[in-house]
Amino acid sequence: MNYLLNIVIFFPAFAALLLYVLKGENSRIFAILVASLELLFVVLLWNEFNTNYGGIQFVTHYELISSYNISYSVGIDGISLFLLALNAFITLLALYFFKYLRTPLIIAILFLESIVMGVFSALDVVMFYIFWELSLLPVLYIIGVWGGERRIYASIKYFIYTFGASLIMLIGILYFAYQYFLIMGTWSFNLIDWYQISLDLDTQKWLFLAFFIGMAVKIPIFPLHSWQPHAYTQAPIVGSVLLSAVLSKMGTYGLLRLVLPLFPFTSSNISLIIGLICVFMVVYGAFIALAQKDLKTFLAYSSLSHMGIIVLGIFSLNTEGLSGAVFFMIAHGVVVGALFMLIGILQTRTQTQSLQDVQGIAHSMPQYSSVFGIVMMCSLGLPLTMGFVGEVLSLYGFFQLNPIIAFLAGSSFFVGAIYMLTMFKKVFFGSALPKYTTLKDLNLREKIVFVPILVLIIWLGVYPKPLLTPISTSAETLSRTISAKISLTPTQTHDMENIESLEYPLGNVPRDFDDDGVLFIPRIGE
């Protein structure tokens, strides 16, 4: 079933092309069908996925440019699998939720889904870069054409920021390839090959910086975040949903897939500084959010605050932190997507997204308010919701590194509660404004969207094991690779025989493991 992953990657793009050629009316129904099929494929992929094996599975390798060894090479591990699932899930919900989507917008969304699938499964660095950059174009179109008043400014700002940062990453990629060429004597852009070498400290430092800037803009990390509120606010709500839920995970995924295993030594050296930045991001994002008057900008900053925790978990470099970060990526994706959709409902009903113009919504829309309440609780990390598990694991991971920073970052529970509850009070409680007393509550379509979200939030909050086990298996492989590379003195000697056995083996993955072959996995999160 190795070809399944390729279907997952290219099916939405193919469907979008079809849609472009046919230009049919009612394209939303078609797109919903495509997205459901896509979700089905991803579930099949999950079904076929060997959850006891932490390495790369479903590998497809096809040579493209042989003289530089650039190839179409894809494969997934436990980390990518659930990001694929998140992408398919959110896209389906978004397509179903927004009733009045025009065909061009739907085509862009489907292309975006395809491209993001590619980012999450590329194993060739050039391929990764291609998907990474290509994702700009649909977003540009979604924001620039379908966005709000200042859409052109927002889309160009987004483009310039990410394009520039990615080009810096491109230099890093090419320089790494050249270093690989110097060490190994052959060109290769395959990630698995790149894992085999470790560079000397000085080179590592600069290359880390180049890669990190590329990722940091996309996440975004604190000083590079200024495109984010504009993009999230000006995008149409479906765009905000996809941007915040799926696209922001590309950066954190890039950290996991590229930055940590390629530059383990620098990553571990710099983790405290990044931890401090993350703490700052958490608090800064929360307080800026508190001062916002626009609901979408509010969510943009709250998202910034949460990304701080995810990056913190990633730079803990241990299994708990990594799997917590991945889990939180998924939880954050679901929750922030749901919140943007909820705001979308409010906006269509009241024609405003300003915090000051609405109050007392709970009187006229009780169901809406309770759904909003539950999702919000998950967002601020209430125990027994999905948000709690990831956040706590991320913090626990970093706690092993530096308790003080972890403690400070733990204030996210507290500051999150401040801004979220303040907003909730303003919007939902108090006396209802007369013009909003006749608002309609959730209709059937909206209920259908929020039921699976609520189920996921509660179910994975109570019983996170189905996701957490495969994630932590892969996180374990990752963290062991990192620590093995760190324990080797990263000098000029490139004798990597010692960790040969720990590397991700390419291909030839046994489909079924005997119990003897199963790696020992600590049962975290239970």
Partner 1 sequence: MPESMSFSLTQLNISLLIPMSISLLGGIVLLGVGVFNKIKSRDLYIAISLLFVIVNLGFLVLEANPLLAPGFFGLLLVDGISLLAQMIMLITTLIILLFFMRQNSFAETQNAEFYALLLFALVGFSFMVSSQNLILILLGLETASLSIYALIALHNKQVSFESSIKYFVMGALATAFYAFGAMLLYATTGSVNLVNIAKFLLEHNYEPSILVFAGFTFLVAAFGFKISMVPFHTWVPDVYEGSNSLLAAFIAIVPKIAAFSVIISVFNIFLKSHNTFVEYTLYTLIILSITLPNLIALVQKDVKRMLAYSSISHSGFVLAAIFVGTQQALEVVFLYWILFLFANVGAFGILWLSADSKYNHSFKSFSGMIKTNPTLAIFLSLFMFALAGIPPFSVFWGKMYLILEVLSADYIFLALAMVINSTIAGFYYLKLVVYIFAKDSNGIGDYQPPLELSSKVAIGICAIMSVGCIFMVQNLLDIISYYLKIY
Q: Which is nearer to partner 1, 118 or 264 (CB)?
A: 118
Site membership for partner 1, residue 431 (CB under 8 A): no
Neighbours of 437 (CB within 10 A): 11
- Closest to 297 measured CA to CA, from 249, 238, 359, 234: 234
* Interatomic CA distance for residues 277 and 267, integer angstroms: 14
- Using alpha carbons only, how large is the chain's radius of gyration in Å? 22
Least distance to partner 1 from the beta carbon of 215, Å? Answer: 16
* Interatomic CA distance for residues 31 and 402, integer angstroms: 47
Q: Is the dihedral of CA 372, 373, 377, 383 positive or negative?
A: negative
Site membership for partner 1, residue 197 (CB under 8 A): no
Site membership for partner 1, residue 141 (CB under 8 A): yes
Site membership for partner 1, residue 22 (CB under 8 A): no
Q: What is the dihedral of CA 409, 414, 419, 422, to 10 degrees?
A: 180
Q: Which is nearer to partner 1, 250 or 365 (CB)?
A: 250
Number of residues that bind partner 1 (CB under 8 A): 32
Applying the rule CB under 8 A, the residues between 111 and 130 that interact with partner 1 are 126, 129-130
Q: Which is nearer to partner 1, 151 or 296 (CB)?
A: 151
Neighbours of 251 (CB within 10 A): 25
Q: Which is nearer to partner 1, 136 or 502 (CB)?
A: 136
Q: Which span sits near partner 1 by CB under 8 A: 31-39, 136-144, 278-286, 412-420?
A: 136-144
Q: H or E segment at 64? A: strand 57-65
Site membership for partner 1, residue 168 (CB under 8 A): yes
Site membership for partner 1, residue 174 (CB under 8 A): yes
Q: Which is nearer to partner 1, 46 or 206 (CB)?
A: 206
Site membership for partner 1, residue 17 (CB under 8 A): no
Site membership for partner 1, residue 164 (CB under 8 A): yes
Site membership for partner 1, residue 167 (CB under 8 A): yes
Site membership for partner 1, residue 14 (CB under 8 A): no
* Interatomic CA distance for residues 472 and 478, integer angstroms: 9
Query: What length is written for the chain?
Result: 526
Which residue type sits at 469? T
Helix (H, G, I), strand (E, B) or coil at 63: strand
* Interatomic CA distance for residues 229 and 299, integer angstroms: 9
Q: Which is nearer to partner 1, 142 or 288 (CB)?
A: 142
Q: Which is nearer to partner 1, 162 or 297 (CB)?
A: 162
* Interatomic CA distance for residues 93 and 394, integer angstroms: 27
Least distance to partner 1 from the beta carbon of 118, Å? Answer: 11
Site membership for partner 1, residue 18 (CB under 8 A): no
Least distance to partner 1 from the beta carbon of 495, Å? Answer: 24
Q: Which span sits near partner 1 by CB under 8 A: 39-47, 165-173, 224-232, 308-316?
A: 165-173
One residue of 11, 49, 159, 328 binding partner 1 per CB under 8 A: 159
Q: Is the dihedral of CA 279, 281, 286, 290 positive or negative?
A: positive
Which residue type sits at 176? F
Backbone angles phi, psi at 76, to 5 degrees: -130, 155
Q: Which is nearer to partner 1, 104 or 505 (CB)?
A: 104
Site membership for partner 1, residue 177 (CB under 8 A): yes
Site membership for partner 1, residue 67 (CB under 8 A): yes
Site membership for partner 1, residue 170 (CB under 8 A): yes
Q: Hey, what are 286's tokens?
A: 């929360």
Site membership for partner 1, residue 209 (CB under 8 A): no
DSSP structure string for 287-342:
HHHHT-SBHHHHHHHHHHHHHHHHHHHHTT-SHHHHHHHHHHHHHHHHHHHHHHHH
Site membership for partner 1, residue 155 (CB under 8 A): yes
* Interatomic CA distance for residues 114 and 130, integer angstroms: 13
Q: Which is nearer to partner 1, 148 or 452 (CB)?
A: 148
Site membership for partner 1, residue 79 (CB under 8 A): no
Q: Which is nearer to partner 1, 140 or 488 (CB)?
A: 140
Question: For residue 220, is the peptide bond before it cis, meaning its omega torsion is within 30 degrees of 0?
Answer: yes
Site membership for partner 1, residue 145 (CB under 8 A): yes
One residue of 7, 18, 32, 134 binding partner 1 per CB under 8 A: 134
* Interatomic CA distance for residues 172 and 214, integer angstroms: 9
* Interatomic CA distance for residues 37 and 434, integer angstroms: 44
Q: Which is nearer to partner 1, 46 or 175 (CB)?
A: 175
Q: Which residues bind partner 1 (CB under 8 A)?
A: 64-67, 126, 129-130, 133-134, 136-137, 140-141, 144-145, 151-152, 155-156, 159-160, 163-164, 167-168, 170-171, 174-175, 177-178, 181
